[in-house]
Amino acid sequence: MAAPEHYERVQTLLRKVYQDTMFRSDPALDHPLYAELIDMGPEIVPALLRQLEEFQDPDDLSIWHAISALYALTEVDPIPQEHAGRLREIIGDWLEWGRKEGIKWDV
């Protein structure tokens, strides 16, 4: 289950990384706060899945950093090729993966 402090910290880090890198053409993977997020380890996977489940604003591109972090932390790719680049489908695929893995992200 995603502890509230993990969720809030993950949310803060994702937004800050996005704000700091939104005008860069290269990925934010080298940002120190992204590294801090990854260093928190697999225990934040529930918080990342919660971020995906609560996603509402299509203009909030920080969601891509959450997806990237899921790939990095789980070393899993649950996205079928036909969903590549389609955000809603990618989110659904990750949430389905989390459910199949028995991960709880409700607080």
- Cα–Cα distance measured from residue 62 to residue 53, given in angstroms and rounded to the nearest whole number: 14
Confidence band of 1 (pLDDT split at 50, 70, 90):
very low
Q: How far is Cα 60 from Cα 87, in angstroms, rounded to an integer?
A: 11
pLDDT in tens, 80-91: 999 998 999 999
User: What does the pLDDT look like over 5-49, one tens digit per residue?
Assistant: 688 899 899 889 888 887 766 666 778 888 999 999 999 999 999
At residue 28, the pLDDT reads 67
Predicted confidence (pLDDT) at residue 103 exceeds the cutoff of 60? yes
For residue range 63-80, list pLDDT tens digits in order: 888 999 999 999 999 999
Owner of token pair 């695929």 = 93
